[in-house]
Amino acid sequence: MHEMAIAQSILDIALGEMDRRAATRLIGIKVSIGEFSGVVKEALEFAFQVLTPDTRASDAAIDIDIVPLTAECPRCGPSDCRLNDLNFLCTACGAALILTGGREMKVEYVDLD
Query: How many alpha carbons fall within 13 Å on the CB side of residue 56?
Result: 18
The answer to whether residue 13 scores a pLDDT higher than 80 is: yes
42-60 as b/e: b if 16+ CB within 10 A: eebbebbeebbeeebbeeb
Is residue 16 within 8 Å of residue 50, measured between CB atoms? no
The amino acid sitting at 23 is A
Domain boundaries, the chain: 2-112
User: 110 has which bridge partners?
Assistant: 29
Domain 2-112 belongs to what architecture? 2-Layer Sandwich (3.30)
Residue 71 contacts residue 105 (beta carbons within 8 Å): no
pLDDT digits (tens, 9 = 90+) for 63-105: 999 998 888 888 887 755 555 566 788 888 888 888 888 999 9
| pLDDT tens readout for residues 23-70 | 999 999 999 999 989 999 999 999 999 999 999 999 999 999 999 888
